[in-house]
Amino acid sequence: MTPSAPTGSPRNDLLAGWFKLQRQQFSLDASLTIPDRGLTGIFGPSGSGKTTLLRCIAGLERAGRGELTVDGETWQDEQGRVFLPPWKRPIGFVFQEPRLFAHLSVRENLLFGQKRKHPGDALVTEKQVVEMLGIGSLLARKPDSLSGGEQQRVAIGRALLTNPKLVLMDEPLTGLDRARKEEVMPFLERLHRELEMPVIMVSHHLEELIRLADALVMMEQGRIGASGPLAEMLTRLDSPLAREDNAISVVEGVVTRREPEYGLVWLETPFGPLALADCGEPEGTPLRANIKARDVSICLERPGKTSILNIIPATVVELAGVEGQRMVKLDAAGVPLLARITARSASSLGLRPGLRVFAQVKTVSLLPR
């Protein structure tokens, strides 16, 4: 369960492009579109072309063939002999390593970002960046006195202060241990929640993108296999993500009620109230809950007396075999959910597309990771 950005007006495409690039042992052939708000995650194994694609967007890598349009402006058109150099592209790039200037203080590193500010109305001020990233107490210090997580937060702030139309993050948490990742992640979640600045983030750790992304692009061997909203991508039965033992669904909701005496908090979701362990978030906070497919059971009738608090009306959409079991995709008022049950249970219930059922979800399965 993590804080999430509230949904707003429909999103339009900010970026549209395609790239073809050939190296001795690798080829990139990718076409993609990116919405004008939210975080788009690019996911795939090492060597799948994620970073190369990001560098093509930034202009740091020039594809032999390709086109790229961002916010109506052509950044690359090889046929038309157009190639906007990297320093003229209004992007903020966050690399795997912070790449801070060691001889400058934190504030001076941030000011360097402001000196490279791209034209246009500022979407975020230095004061906002400092407050959102929690780096106010670090401003006078030099980078070598900071932890890895603190350095990366400063690097993110510097990128934001260039006033970019688009932020590119290339595995920004890869060089950090688990403790430092957990230090940085809440700040990334807050930026995602409070800024409308579009972000493309590359990662080969799906759990990072599940916490942050609105949309997901799947890459393998230099190709894009599939892309779409995160909730849909996680529950596509033709995707390997839905066939894994730890397959999950994500549900967006807003805190409406807390029951501290029972250690519970209630979210309002498209399919109704959802109970989970109290996370301390106040009423009105938008949250994202993860539901493990193996923690969902299916009933043909609404259960009577039961210890399960979450009973969700749903419709069977699709079934797929998974090692002697069945992965069932459900639709709950437009929210896709997964249930992993035995093949025998699926047969005895007579599950088929279109059948109306009830999904039972244990509250414990919604605990924060």
Strand order in the sheet with 91-94: 82-83, 73-77, 65-70, 13-22, 27-35, 223-229, 215-220, 39-43, 199-203, 166-170, 91-94
Same domain, 137 and 281: no
71 shares a domain with 189: yes
Spell out a b/e string for 31-56, using b for 16 or more CB atoms within 10 Å of the CB, else e. ebbbbbbbbbbbbbeeebbbbbbbbb
Q: Are residues 314 and 228 in the same domain?
A: no
Question: What is the domain extent for residue 228?
Answer: 2-234
Q: In this structure, are 256 and 230 located in the same domain?
A: no
Nearest-angstrom CA–CA distance, 244 and 241:
6
Residues 223-234: tens digit of each pLDDT: 999 999 999 999
**Does any domain span residue 242?**
no
Helices 148-160/126-133 angle, 10° precision: 150
Q: Is residue 263 part of a domain?
A: yes
Statement to judge: residues 197 and 264 lie in one domain: no
Residues 95 and 35 in one domain: yes
Cβ-Cβ contacts under 8 Å for 64 (sequence gap 6 or more)? 20, 21, 22, 78
Residue 313 and residue 182 in one domain? no
In a domain, 256, yes or no: yes
Specify if 290 maps to a domain: yes
Domain end among 234, 257, 279: 234
d(CA 342, CA 142): 57
Summarize pLDDT for 103-121 with one digit per residue, the tens. 999 999 999 988 888 877 7
Last residue in a domain, options 206, 234, 262: 234
What is the pTM for the complete model shown?
0.90
**In this structure, are 210 and 96 located in the same domain?**
yes
For residue 152, the domain's CATH number is 3.40.50.300
Q: Is 289 helix (H, G, I), strand (E, B) or coil?
A: strand
Question: Is residue 243 in a domain?
Answer: no
Looking at the structure, tell me whether residues 18 and 157 fall in a common domain. Answer: yes
**3-class SS string, 144-213:** HHCCHHHHHHHHHHHHHCCCCCEEEEECCCCCCCHHHHHHHHHHHHHHHHHCCCCEEEEECCHHHHHHHC
Whether residue 268 sits in one domain with residue 215: no
Q: One digit per residue, pLDDT tens: the chain, 369 residues?
A: 565 554 444 568 899 999 999 988 899 999 999 998 899 999 999 899 999 999 999 999 999 899 999 999 999 999 989 999 999 999 999 999 999 999 999 999 999 988 888 877 777 889 999 999 999 999 999 999 999 999 999 999 999 999 999 999 999 998 888 888 888 998 898 888 888 889 999 998 999 999 999 999 999 999 999 999 999 999 999 988 988 888 999 999 999 999 999 999 999 999 999 999 888 888 998 888 999 999 999 999 999 889 999 999 999 999 998 778 999 999 999 999 999 999 999 999 999 999 999 999 986 555 443
Asked which of 180, 211, 234 is the last residue of a domain, the reply is: 234
Compute the C-alpha angle 140/141/147, nearest 5°: 145
**Would 287 be classed as within a structural domain?**
yes
Structure token digits, residue 251: 């549900």
How many domains, the chain?
2
Kindly report the CATH number assigned to the domain that includes residue 332: 2.40.50.100
